[in-house]
């Protein structure tokens, strides 16, 4: 199998192999080749360059990309795409004045999704989830982190892990699973949170490690969910199994989760709608990726992550969808790139870096995904005719994608 894409108006995000992350000032640049070609064999990017050097290259499939741009596929480093049903009734409750917190306090929210998921068969859960994922591949996402966290019992969390494992085996997209058993306190443990934490540290983490699906651990570190001490207990237990943290912190309140994440060498700290100087200073001394989730801020009408403060401090940032039924029921990365520009005041270059190479870093895959680089996986977006990559965030809520190449396979939309 070989594919040659010719006459590419802009080949966007061409990086050397040693670029795994882009920080601060460097995020303002997007390396572009104009009037270019790109050659793929099997699942790998083999060669690219200006059209004048394309002569003599032959391939089984030729794509004429006249007037179109080619970018690396989006890397969505934070999703909860495996869930059952939806929460439209809570959506209406919020329109009518209830807050996300009010809904959680009366036993809804995450617990609602957990109840539904517990009652859903593994097969049905797989079918619902793979349909969502296939739709998003056609919208340009080529890699997905997927969390558990709507099981909240040993049995249901393992059911989620098995579904994620099957998606990983059967989908062409790159999947990285994360164990988020500490997503909410289950109703049965309302007055005995410590017992649920024990269940996670003594039963679920070892069982998940044995299944060998997830190398990442997540905790919702937030008031009313898991405090700093609970979070540390879970991170410590997971570290014994070499599970690296990717944690939910600072969504509504600052509990110190950023510093704790850094202490435990977190790959990413996600949300950060609230952020203080201590957090910035902790991140400066770390290899941890801060991740903004503008779809959640949009849907819940909460503050947007102060991306400017983060980038201007010389730090990197990634953006992701947080796709889930409660706080962000959209997995459209094109919209996220746009929201990053419009609401987080990131430039198109910064937003595209944040959604590709830095997203890949935040899921531990940037050596093989997230840029146009010889030897990396052929996960690509071929856009509709566009003048410039800035039109992607500019035309918000439009779909700029014409075709995608996923794991070396060309798909029409
Ligand atoms: O990232 N904050 C915690 N978890 C999800 C929301 C989950 C839900 O409401 O179902 C989030 O926003
Ligand atoms: Fe989330």
What's the CA-to-centroid distance between 378 and ligand 2, angstroms? 28
Residue with tokens 């909410």: 184
Measured in degrees and rounded to the nearest 5, phi and psi for residue 379 equal -115, 105
pLDDT in the model for residue 366: 98
Known binding residue 42? Answer is no
Judge whether residue 290 has pLDDT over 80. Answer: yes
**Span 239-264, average pLDDT:** 98
How far is residue 90's CA from residue 109's CA, in Å, rounded to a whole number?
8
**Span 37-62, average pLDDT:** 97
Known binding residue 251? Answer is yes
Tokens standing for 260?
């704790």
How far is residue 36's CA from residue 191's CA, in Å, rounded to a whole number?
62
Domains of the chain: 2-72+369-412 (2.30.40.10), 75-361 (3.20.20.140)
Closest CA to 407 of 19, 26, 8, 41: 41
Nearest-CA residue for ligand 1 atom 11 is: 327
Closest atom of ligand 1 relative to the 270 alpha carbon: 1
What's the CA-to-centroid distance between 110 and ligand 1, angstroms? 7
pLDDT, tens only, 139-174: 999 999 999 999 999 999 999 999 999 999 999 999
Nearest-CA residue for ligand 1 atom 8 is: 326
pLDDT, tens only, 62-95: 999 999 999 999 999 999 999 999 999 999 999 9
Residues in contact with ligand 1 by the CB-under-6-Å rule are 109-110, 113, 220, 248, 251, 296, 322, 324-327
What's the CA-to-centroid distance between 98 and ligand 1, angstroms? 16
pLDDT above 90 covers a percentage of the chain that reads 98
User: Structure pTM?
Assistant: 0.98
Rg (CA), the chain: 21
Judge whether residue 413 has pLDDT over 80. Answer: no
Residue with tokens 């209830």: 98
How far is residue 33's CA from residue 10's CA, in Å, rounded to a whole number?
6
pLDDT in the model for residue 406: 98
Known binding residue 271? Answer is no
Known binding residue 87? Answer is yes
What's the CA-to-centroid distance between 413 and ligand 2, angstroms? 28
pLDDT, tens only, 302-342: 999 999 999 999 999 999 999 999 999 999 999 999 999 99
How many Cα neighbours within 13 Å face the side chain of 25?
Answer: 0
What's the CA-to-centroid distance between 154 and ligand 1, angstroms? 20
Nearest-CA residue for ligand 1 atom 7 is: 326
pLDDT, tens only, 113-133: 999 999 999 999 999 999 999
pLDDT in the model for residue 57: 95
């Amino acid at each position: 199998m070989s594919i040659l894409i010719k006459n590419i108006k802009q080949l966007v995000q061409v990086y050397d192999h040693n670029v795994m992350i882009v920080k601060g000032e460097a995020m303002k640049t997007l390396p572009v080749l104009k009037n270019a070609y790109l050659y793929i064999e099997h699942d790998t990017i083999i060669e690219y360059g200006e059209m004048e050097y394309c002569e003599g290259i032959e391939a089984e499939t030729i794509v004429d990309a006249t007037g179109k741009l080619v970018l690396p596929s989006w890397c969505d480093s934070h999703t909860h795409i495996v869930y059952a049903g939806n929460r439209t009734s809570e959506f209406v409750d919020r329109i009518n004045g209830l807050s996300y917190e009010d809904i959680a306090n009366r036993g809804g929210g995450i617990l609602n999704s957990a109840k539904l998921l517990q009652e859903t068969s593994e097969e049905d859960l797989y079918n619902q989830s793979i349909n969502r994922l296939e739709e998003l591949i056609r919208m340009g996402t080529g890699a997905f982190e997927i969390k558990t966290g709507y099981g909240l019992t040993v049995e249901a969390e393992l059911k989620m892990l098995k579904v994620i494992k099957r998606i990983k085996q059967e989908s062409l997209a790159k999947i990285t699973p994360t164990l988020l058993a500490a997503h909410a306190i289950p109703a049965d443990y309302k007055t005995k949170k410590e017992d649920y934490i024990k269940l996670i540290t003594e039963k679920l983490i070892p069982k998940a490690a044995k299944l060998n699906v997830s190398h990442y651990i997540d905790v919702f570190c937030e008031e009313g969910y898991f405090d700093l001490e609970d979070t540390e207990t879970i991170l410590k237990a997971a570290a014994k199994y070499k599970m690296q943290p990717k944690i939910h912190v600072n969504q509504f309140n600052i509990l110190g989760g950023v510093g704790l994440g850094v202490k435990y060498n977190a790959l990413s700290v996600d949300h950060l709608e609230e952020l203080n100087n201590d957090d910035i200073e902790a991140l400066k001394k770390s290899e941890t990726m801060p991740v903004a989730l503008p779809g959640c801020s949009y849907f819940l009408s909460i503050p947007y992550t102060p991306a400017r403060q983060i980038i201007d401090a010389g730090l990197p940032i990634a953006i992701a969808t947080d796709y889930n039924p409660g706080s962000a029921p959209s997995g459209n990365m094109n919209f996220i790139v746009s929201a990053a520009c419009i609401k987080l005041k990131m430039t198109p270059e910064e937003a595209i870096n944040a959604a590709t190479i830095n997203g890949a870093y935040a899921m531990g895959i940037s050596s093989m995904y997230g840029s146009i680089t010889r030897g990396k996986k052929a996960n690509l977006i071929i856009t509709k005719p566009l003048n410039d990559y800035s039109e992607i965030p500019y035309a918000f809520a439009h779909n700029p994608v014409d075709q995608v190449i996923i794991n070396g396979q060309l798909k029409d939309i």
